[in-house]
């Protein structure tokens, strides 16, 4: 069987419980057609880059699939019919990544404070906070020789 990563975008006005119900419904469709779902990773309600069907946000969910093409095609057909699904994308991959995805790792990185960087809160610039000494940039315009 082929391996796929599948991302679903569901409408913003449905609840998290309804999103979980949708995912279970699509898992059932896959399993009935000989496939299986490895990892289900909800990314939560996120802002879209542009409006889709008058929605500014969407519930994102990532699914790792191990299924034949026919099962994925049937799941996608049912997603097209479901009015709660804004978009979906299925990508065939060589191997499934069982670790947390980049989207969930990004949340962990954003939780760090700026002062936790090496070199202190201002990075490598020390305690000055300015853009550096002007002497190494050449003469100022007012100090340039007249031509």
Contact 3, 65 (CB under 8 A): yes
Check residue 115 and report its DSSP letter: G
Percent of the chain exceeding pLDDT 90 equals: 62
> If you average pLDDT over residues 125-136, what whole number do you get?
58
Backbone angles phi, psi at 46, to 5 degrees: -125, 155
Per-residue pLDDT band at 121 (split at 50, 70, 90):
low
Q: What is the pLDDT of residues 7-30, one digit of tens each?
A: 999 999 999 999 999 999 999 999
Q: For the chain, what is the mean pLDDT?
A: 83
**b/e for 90-109, b at 16 or more Cβ within 10 A?**
beeeeeeeeeeeeeeeeeee
pLDDT of 4:
94
Q: What is the pLDDT of residues 89-99, one digit of tens each?
A: 999 999 888 88
Contacts for 110 with CB less than 8 Å, ≥ 6 apart: none
pTM (global) more than 0.85:
no
């Amino acid at each position: 069987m082929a391996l796929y990563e599948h991302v679903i975008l569901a409408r913003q006005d449905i609840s998290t419980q309804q999103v979980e119900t949708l995912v279970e419904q699509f898992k059932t469709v896959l399993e009935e057609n000989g496939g299986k779902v490895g990892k289900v990773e909800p990314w939560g309600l996120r802002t879209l880059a542009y409006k889709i069907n008058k929605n500014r946000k969407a519930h994102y969910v990532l699914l790792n699939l191990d299924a034949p093409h026919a099962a994925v095609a049937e799941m996608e057909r049912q997603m097209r019919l479901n009015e709660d699904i804004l978009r979906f994308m299925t990508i065939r991959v060589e191997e499934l990544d069982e670790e947390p995805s980049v989207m969930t790792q990004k949340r962990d990185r954003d939780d760090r404070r700026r002062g936790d960087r090496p070199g202190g809160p201002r990075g490598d610039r020390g305690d000055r906070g300015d853009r550096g000494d002007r002497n190494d940039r050449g003469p100022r315009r007012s100090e340039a020789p007249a031509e």
